[in-house]
Every structure is written in structure tokens, then in C-alpha cells.
Structure 1
Amino acid sequence: MALSVIALILSAGAACGYIQTQSHNFHYIYGCYESDDVRVDAVVDGDVVAYADFNKEEVVWVLPHLPQPAKDFKKMAYGVAKASTAHCHSVLGKAKNADPGAPLRQDPPDIYIYTRYEGEASVMNTLFCVANHFYPPTINFTWTKNGVELTEGVANLRYRHNRDGTFHMISTLLFTPQPGDHYICTVEHQAAKVPVSKSWELKENKMSRVSPEAVFFGVSVVLCLMGFGTGVFFFIKQPN
């Protein structure tokens, strides 16, 4: 029984404060983890509309236009979030003490890398590095270009829940690709024995691999054939 309680707390957190109206439903979820990470989200119709930022000590709303009732509720919401984390840690501690030998869930991430637009030399683009289906939520992204670590142009989006209790997170890199540049996204997670990396480089246009000498030779051959064909034509047309 203790093991199932730990799994519930660690994978899904706790849902509470559920409210439903004729057209919408609202609830908030909270979770605490072995890594000391804590998450509190406000959810409307299945979408996260706000979350607690414990570094800034405030609730951050992700809606573009915040209604006045939500603004008035903002300060009280942070107090609710703080109380939720205290309760979560208390229940987590009791569950761990009930069965200290229970194994903790760990799932390594699946990694994908892709660009916003089709890669083109000297044209600004965005690289996305996606880590999916990992648990617990603590994860680290590192970007390198030709072996040198990058910090400028890097942004890490906030991790989000999957329906199976795991998480996904995206790191982005704003860059301008050039031929020969080699980009690598490396992801570190405690469930992976070694860091996992995915690479990207600009694909050469097949036409760009044709040398000027080859082009000159090809054009010369065509002109010679055209001249030869013209000479044969006039020779045949010559009167006897």
C-alpha cells in the first residue's frame, strides 16, 4: 500500500479545489519530488493557465489577457500554492517512512531535434530540442556549436505533464546556420546512465556540390555537340 501511495504522489501529485461551471471546469494540481522540485499549476479545461514561481514568489499567468477577477485572486493564489507544497512534502515524508525500501520511479527521456523552418544558409532559424516521457522532472539541456558550449540564444520552456504521469520539456536555440557548422543538444537526466545527445547540421544543396570546373566542362561539351550538329546539318543540305 505504501508503494502505491508514493507512486501516486511522485507521478501525479494531488488534484484539489475542483470547480465546474456550465461551460468550464477549474482545478489546481501540485506535486513534490525527490529532487526537491515542486510544481503547482492552475488548470482550466485541461490547459495550464497559471503556475507558481517560487523563485519570484508569485503566480505567473500564461493567458495573454488576464481578467480583473484573476488579477485580484493573484496574491491569494500564491498563498494557496505555498500551503499546497507544505502539505505535499508532509504526505510524501509519511509515505516514504511507511516503506523506506520502496523503489522510486525513473524514466529516461526520448530526445528529438528539429528546426522551425527548413534549413537555409545565412537565414535565421530556431532549433528545438524536445525531451519527452521522462520522470522525475529534473532535467538539464546543453547546446554546443562545433564543440563550444552556447548560452546566447538559448531558452528553456517550462516542463509540462503527460497523461501517463511523465513530463516533457523543450529547449530552443535561435541561430543562423552556416555550411560546416555542427550543433548538438545534450540532455542529462538521472534515469539515463549517460547524457543523451542529438545533432543537427545544414544539409548541402546537391547543386552546391557541383564544382565550377565541372559546370564549365559540361557547358563546353554541350556547345561542342551543338556545333557538330549544326555542321552536319549544313553538310547534308549542301547542293550536289
Structure 2
Amino acid sequence: MVPSVILLLLAAGAGSATTSSHQLRYMYGCYESDDVRVDAVLDEDVIGYADFNKEEMVIALPDPPQSVEDFKKRAIEFANADRTHCHNSLGRAKAADPGSPMQQDPPDIFMYTRYEGEEDVINTLYCLANYFYPPTINFTWSKNGMEVTEGVTNLRYRHNDDGTFHRISTLSFTPREGDFYTCKVEHQASQQPLTRTWELKKRSSVSPAAVFFFVSLVLCLMGIGTGVYFLNKQPS
């Protein structure tokens, strides 16, 4: 479970505005490291996040409309207000319960490909770490036991509704028979690294048409054999 102070602050920051068909809301989290995360969420998709180093709201949309500039100005003002509120509230919470250990949640790990695996056809591997807290996690990819960095992309942390986080790491690769790929995930709440492995499944060399023909032939021979048996059993 996530510390109660974090849940409280997340709930306090989930302001929303609803139009006739969409809901815009802001989610923010306050952490013991003094970091603050603010996301703008449209329906269920994160469309922007606050970059406090650049003092701007970064829009995570391809080709955003020109009207989004006004939204960015208002959104960063809201984010700065949230950051101040976070620091004040977290400071009061620490003073009220000094020395209490921070609870932690280890991640669940899932691994899958973008397309069905096919030899010599470029594909993407996804390694999903979900339901973990705090939001600090490390991905390591390897091919046949050797670490690889080329083609690796780590996406941003995303909030879950329960206050935990999820994050995806991707690897672009070209599968070949005999190769195996491993994603290793390290998180402070896990006693040891978690791993998932993927390798290209061998396809049968027998075509579906050949299998159908063989099965049909067997059934046909069984039918003939049964007919001959009953014919011989008829009384003379």
C-alpha cells in the first residue's frame, strides 16, 4: 500500500473540469524526496506534464493545436500552486509523524510484443512494470545474456488510480530463431531483480493444408475399415 499522506495529496490534487463529452483533470503527487509530479489527464490519457526545470507544461500530443498555448500557461500556474501545496502539506505530515518508515510496493512485470513474432521481421518488445511505489525503477535489456542499449526507450512514469505507478520500457529488435531477450527490472521494494524472457517460437514445418489432408485421409480410412468390419459381420 502507498503511504496515507500520498493518497491524501493525490486526492486533493485531482481537480477536474467536464465538457459535454470529455473530462480534463489534474493529478499530482508529493514524495518524500520533495519531488512533485503534476499530470494533465484528458479522459484516461495523460496529455501533458509539468517540467519545473523549464517552468512549462509539456504537451504529450502529436501536432497539438495552436489554442493549446493558452492552456499551457494556465496549467503551469496550477502546477506551481500544487507544488507549493505539496511541500507545505508534506512538511506538516512529516512533523506529525516523524521517523515513520515509508511503505513500498514491488512491481508486477509483464512482457509482450507489438506484433506476432516472425523471423527476420522487425518488431517491438514491451516490458511493463505496474503497481509499484515509490516511482523509481530501473530496466535492463539483454540479448542472449549480453546487455543491449541500442533500440531501448524508457517511457515516462504514469499514475495509477490507487496512487501507485506504472512504466514501460521498449526494445526494437529483429527476431531470429535461437535468440532470446530478457528484461530485468530493479526496484527498491523487490528483494531481488525481476526478469521476463521472450524468444521466437518455432513454427511447425507442416502446413495447415497438409495437416487437413492427413486428418481427412485417416478419417476416410477409418470409415472404410468400419464399413468392411460390419459387412463381414452380416449373417450368411
Structure 1-normalised TM-score? Answer: 0.75
Return the letter of the residue paired with 1:49. I
Distance 1:178 1:75 in 2: 49
Residue in structure 2 matched with residue 148 of structure 1 by the alignment: 146
Structure with greater Cα Rg:
1
Runs of 4+ in 1 over 6 A off after TM superposition: none
Q: 1:131 aligns with which of 129, 132, 135?
A: 129
1:122 and 1:37, CA in 2 relative to 1: closer, same or farther beyond 3 A?
Answer: farther
Q: 1:73 aligns with which of 64, 71, 74?
A: 71
SS in 1 for 2:150: coil
1:152 and 1:4, CA in 2 relative to 1: closer, same or farther beyond 3 A?
Answer: closer
Distance 1:85 1:22 in 2: 30
Residue 47 in 1 paired to residue 34 in 2?
A: no
Q: 2:183 aligns with which of 173, 182, 185?
A: 185
Return the letter of the residue paired with 1:8. L
Distance 2:140 2:116 in 1: 23
Deviation of 1:132 (Å): 1.0
Distance 1:7 1:29 in 2: 11
Residue 85 in 1 paired to residue 87 in 2?
A: no
Deviation of 1:28 (Å): 1.5
Deviation string 1:131-174 (CA, Å, 9 cap, x unpaired) is 11111111111111122221111111112222222111111100
Deviation of 1:77 (Å): 2.7
Deviation string 1:89-122 (CA, Å, 9 cap, x unpaired) is 2211210121014332311001011111121221
Deviation of 1:16 (Å): 5.3
Q: What is the count of residue pairs matched by the alignment?
A: 204
Distance 1:154 1:56 in 2: 25
Residue 100 in 1 paired to residue 87 in 2?
A: no
SS in 1 for 2:61: coil
Distance 1:132 1:149 in 2: 23
Distance 1:136 1:82 in 2: 22
Q: What 5-or-longer segments of structure 1 have no aligned partner?
A: 209-240
Distance 2:113 2:20 in 1: 41
State which drifts further: 95-104 or 105-114.
Answer: 95-104
Q: Percent identity?
A: 64
Residue in structure 1 matched with residue 24 of structure 2 by the alignment: 26
Distance 1:6 1:78 in 2: 21
Q: What 5-or-longer segments of structure 2 have no aligned partner?
A: 207-236
SS in 2 for 1:207: coil
1:206 and 1:35, CA in 2 relative to 1: closer, same or farther beyond 3 A?
Answer: farther
SS in 2 for 1:14: helix
Q: 1:153-164 to 2 correspondence within 5 Å? A: 153-164=151-162
Distance 1:36 1:187 in 2: 25
State which drifts further: 186-195 or 157-166.
Answer: 157-166
Tell whether the 8 Å contact from 2:187 to 2:193 is kept in structure 1 after alignment.
yes
SS in 2 for 1:29: strand
